[in-house]
Amino acid sequence: MNSDSCFRRKREPHVGPAAVTPINNKASSGGLPKTARGEATRKSILDAAERVIGSNGYSDASIGQITREAGVAQGTFYIYFKTKEQVFSELVLEMGRLVRHRIAEATANVPNRLDAEKAGLTAFLGFVQAHPDLYRIVQEALFVDPKAYRAYYESFANGYIDGLNTALRAGQISPGDPETRAWALMGVARALGEQLVVFNTKTPIQDLVETGFDLIANGLKP
């Protein structure tokens, strides 16, 4: 329940002229569009939101900017989204789907877990580099929409845990609590991704993967 400073408290819900009004339930406020036109408009708003929020951050991104960027009037925004927070949440969800899909794709036909770790890390870093904005968006979700933030990482973790369990049963990795390991491994990937887009390291992705993977596979022991 964060939100921008202005207009925090919702205004008293405005009751229409009377029950007489035709039940104009529109696509109204958050509803999904019912025609191709609406579909297109909604998408262009969402895309604009991605760019604007991605580069300015949530608080500094204004609905005006977003709609201008999308080429629609300001009021149009509220035909498709109930609040500013809602677009943001959808952005986070969408991004989660994209990353997971990309990693699943990259690790799909890799039968060995360690190779899968390497492939997954490579795919993740490639994705981060291609979508630096989306990376920041997820980070900010912790404050704007904690639920979405948790959902993002948890659905990520679940897949990871499954993978580790399978590998464990197949004797491909040493024993160890899969849940904690999953979070730790995600932490490695996240940190290296952050190196890329937040700290702008000069280290090439390939080297990050090399060093990161060696650590994951063999640890620090001499």
What are the residues binding DNA (CB under 7 A)? 3-11, 13-14, 17, 22, 24-27, 29, 31, 33-41, 60-64, 72-79, 83-85
Instruction: Fill in the amino acid letter for 129.
Output: Q
- What does 139 bind: DNA, a copy of itself, none (CB cut-off 5 to 8 Å by kind)? a copy of itself
Burial of 25 (0-12, 13-18, 19+ CB in 10 A): exposed
Nearer to a copy of itself, 74 or 211 (CB): 211
Q: Which of 42, 48, 52, 58 binds a copy of itself (CB under 8 A)?
A: 58
What is the distance, to the nearest Å, from the Cα of residue 13 to the centroid of all Cα atoms in its chain?
31
The minimum distance between CB 24 and a copy of itself, in angstroms, equals 31
DSSP assignment letter at 38: H
Nearest to 154 by CA among 182, 122, 119, 174: 182
Strand, coil or helix: what is 62? coil
Residue entry with tokens 């499954």: 162
| Residue 118 in contact with a copy of itself, rule: CB under 8 A | no
Select the residue interacting with a copy of itself from 29, 59, 76, 86 (CB under 8 A).
59
Among 117, 122, 152, 163, binds a copy of itself (CB under 8 A): 117
Q: Which is nearer to a copy of itself, 44 or 172 (CB)?
A: 172
**Cβ contact 27:38 at 8 Å:** yes
